[in-house]
A and B are shown apart, each in its own frame.
Chain A
Amino acid sequence: MIRPEEIKMSSEETGKWGMVIDQDICTGCQACVAACAMENNVTFVGEVDSGYGRSMHWIRIERFWEGEYPEVKMTPNQPMLCQQCGHATCEPVCPAFATVHSQSEQLNLQVYNRCVGTRYCANNCPYQVRSFNWRDYERPEPLPNQFNPDVTVRRRGVMEKCTFCIQRIHKAQDKAKSEGREVVDGEFTTACAQACPASAITFGRIDNPESLVSQLGHRSHGVKHLEELGTLPNITYYKGG
């Protein structure tokens, strides 16, 4: 018999890779959006589809304003990307096991070649950060020349999303392994964090208390988005610090 005090809350589990995003210093310059698209071969949907809500960026800068015109006040920019939830709602609903949990990296994986396009995962993502390949979009010359060879190119009918640049994680791990050492904090980072001119995005190991991302995470005013749903997101946001 289990007594109530013995029940372990799943929210006590920690992830492996995490991110801290400081909204106070984010300038909304969209450099992360561009860098992510180049790193991950994200396709360009054009303005018509983009205007209809079919943009496919893996990271987006959300901007809101408060109050009625003309008394509007801008709120801080909010970069929104896959939160790599520890308890992800997108994973169990896929009928084909196309989105699964990586037990070694504690990330949400998207298996492009297994996806049949039911789009259930995207419906069930409370952060609405999954992008669907609505069509085979054209890439005018010379854009095909800048494909990242480490990342699969996706075709129509497939779901995709932020991977925390897992190709960079693996590259760093392989390099460290060949040199017979552990991956050092700050040795590599994601494309968005690398491109951010204001250093608003910090990426690293949250299970290592010495890492920069963990140190930043100790500040008291960090919030996790929609934490009340129990999704255990691995991204901490700072606002109004």
Chain B
Amino acid sequence: MSDKKAHSHEEHLREKHLMLDPLPRGKMNEMVMEAMMEPPTWKFWLIFGFLSIVVAYGLFYSWARLIMEGVGLAGVNRPIYWGIFLVNTVFWIGISHAGTFISAILRVFKAEFRRPFTRAAELMTTFGLVQAGFSIFMHLGRVWLAYWLMPYPNQRMLWPNLHSPLTWDLLAITTYLLSSTMYLFLPLIPDVAMARDRSTGWRKTFYKILALGFRGTEGEWAHLRNGMNIFAFAIIPVMFSVHTIVSWDFAAATRPGWNSTIFGPYFIVGALHSGMGAAIAVLAVIRGTMKHMKYFIRGEHFDAIGKLMLIISMAWAYFFFNDYMVQWYGGDKWTQLLLHFHEAGPMGWMWFGMLICNIAVPWAILWNQKWRSTPWLVATVGIIINVGMWFERYIIIPVSLSINRMPFTWRMYQPGIEIPLGIGTLAFFILLYMAASKLIPLIPVWEVQEGQMAHEFKKFGRETVVSVSELE
């Protein structure tokens, strides 16, 4: 009787946890390959075609017009010199933080649940940074001269101004984009080698080039392990520095509401908040639409990320309150006016919306384990958090810029061409992701297998427990 009970307990654990439910490697390879090579359905092509049109119009045509006619097409004016382009830049950099958080921090701390979705998160980082780059270049008045911001040797020995937070920003985002792309690529090598071994035609050529001739010899694994280890540790401070520097663009300025010393950590937590929300939404879509993904991505993963989201939401609330409290207490006339404008001004609905989306909704739903294990529900919460975080950046940039120390210039902001361009970046992000899901293995199979080898059941007295061995 007790034996049967223990058995069913084991079964239950197996059903719940991917790491305890091993399949032969060949079988998993097959599943991942099938998910990737499954011929796109008409729905896929419909969405793909629609998004392509949105990108062509929203991103490329509108951007061309913006370059040809000037920033006047956007809604910026005096005093709101920065508008939705910068909101979107901060937003996309924020989204990109989840990838590194999941794959680097969770890898460093050996959180086993990370294994099946590190790649999905890293892809978000790279594609999100591409959108951030687009957004910041849209913002420039003379984008064709943007290379002046880069330190390149030139005849007049004219270098960028290293005093400017924007220069640090450019260096940091470049570092982050390059390193996150490399960090995406390193663990991908064994998986494209796997794909190379079991594909034909153009795919074979494609994977052959990507796999670089990887066989899996002892030396190759040793170099790869070493490289990934260095990346996992080193990319964490880079990631922290990126969003801190983004916050310094605001915090270093002499403006009420911006000049806040807590903006660094506040922005990092905000970035993780939106990034985790986006990651979980992406995972829910992958799980729902791709073949065999219900095996790899399970309720436990939504549960684990849901817990992280709840903690990050609490941290965000803490930093928000901290920032608000100190600004309120400071008693500076202009800051008081600004805080009042946030809550009671014409954009007050957005300020309260931000608090509801970022605090009330996640807290109301994520405390319950059953709810946060439900993919569609947590994914919805993730999207709501992203709306809230977009509101937060909108309030920090155009809404806060409305109020300054020269009341004669106070004015409201009405977005113009920012709207198609913003939608264009979102569509481009989804488009890139859709294309990637058909081109590269979204599940790092070798990492999953490694994890499954490390897990086993162990008896402690009468209780069957899970034990994990450290293989590295």
Partners in one complex: yes
Measured CB to CB, the residues of A under 8 A from B are: 49, 52-55, 60, 62-64, 78, 80, 89, 92-97, 114-120, 122-124, 126-128, 131-136, 156-159, 226, 229, 231
Do A118 and B141 have beta carbons less than 8 Å apart? yes
- The reply to whether B141 and A117 form a contact with Cβ atoms under 8 Å apart is yes
- Majority SS at the chain A contact face: loop
Q: Which residues of B contact A116 (CB under 8 A)?
A: 140-143, 145-146, 148-149
> Which partner residue on chain B sits nearest A52 by CB separation?
B77
Q: List 16 A-B contacts (CB under 8 A).
A: A53-B77, A62-B406, A89-B253, A96-B160, A96-B161, A97-B159, A115-B141, A115-B142, A116-B141, A116-B143, A126-B254, A126-B255, A132-B78, A133-B70, A136-B70, A156-B72
Nearest CB to that of B67 among chain A residues?
A157
Q: Is the CB of A93 within 8 A of B406?
A: no
Nearest A residue to B169, CB-CB: A95
A132 lies within 8 A of B71 (CB): yes
Say how far A156's CB is from chain B's closest CB, in angstroms.
4
Rounded to whole Å, the gap between the CB of B170 and the closest CB of chain A is 7
| Distance of A152 Cα from B365 Cα, bound (Å) | 61
10 smallest CB-CB distances across A and B, nearest first, come from A117-B141, A157-B141, A134-B72, A53-B77, A156-B70, A135-B72, A157-B142, A135-B70, A119-B81, A92-B163
A124 touches B254 (CB 8 A): yes
The residue that A95 contacts in the complex, of B82, B139, B160, B253, with Cβ under 8 A, is: B160
State in angstroms the CA–CA spacing of A93 and B166 once bound together: 7
B interface residues, Cβ below 8 angstroms from A: 69-73, 76-82, 139-143, 145-146, 148-149, 158-161, 163-167, 170, 249, 252-255, 401, 404-409, 411, 414
A residues within 8 A CB of B249?
120
A63–B407 Cα distance when bound, in Å, is 10
| Contact yes or no, A49 B72, CB < 8 A | yes
Q: Are B164 and A92 neighbours in the complex by a CB distance under 8 Å? A: yes
Task: For A134, list chain B residues within 8 Å (CB).
Answer: 70-72, 76-77
Q: State whether A80 and B161 are in contact (beta carbons under 8 Å apart), knowing that A123-B253, A133-B70 are contacts in the complex.
A: no
CA distance A32 to B79 in the complex (A): 22
Do A94 and B164 touch (CB < 8 A)?
yes
Which residues from A are CB-within-8-Å of B170? 95
Question: A131 and B78: CB pair below 8 A?
Answer: yes
- Assess whether B82 is in contact with A123, with CB atoms less than 8 Å apart: yes
Report chain B residues within 8 Å CB of A132. 71, 78, 81, 141
In the assembled complex, the CB of A57 is this many whole angstroms from the nearest CB of chain B, namely: 10
User: Which residues of the partner chain A approach B163 to less than 8 Å between Cβ atoms?
Assistant: 92-93
Decide: B405 and A126 in contact? CB cutoff 8 A.
Answer: yes
Residue of B nearest to A78 (CB): B408
Apart from A63-B408, A118-B140, A229-B254, what 19 extra A-B contacts exist at CB < 8 Å?
Answer: A53-B78, A54-B72, A54-B78, A89-B254, A92-B161, A92-B164, A93-B165, A96-B161, A97-B160, A97-B161, A116-B148, A119-B139, A123-B401, A126-B404, A126-B405, A133-B141, A135-B70, A156-B70, A156-B142
Q: Is the CB of B408 within 8 A of A158?
A: no
Would you call A122 and B81 a contact (CB within 8 A)?
Answer: yes
B81's closest neighbor in chain A, by CB? A119
Chain A residues whose CB sits within 8 angstroms of the CB of B408 once the complex forms: 60, 62-64, 78, 80, 128
Using Cβ atoms and an 8 Å threshold, which residues of chain A touch B401? Answer: 123
- List the A residue with the shortest CB-CB distance to B250: A123
Q: How far is the CA of A157 from the CA of B158 in the complex (A)?
A: 21
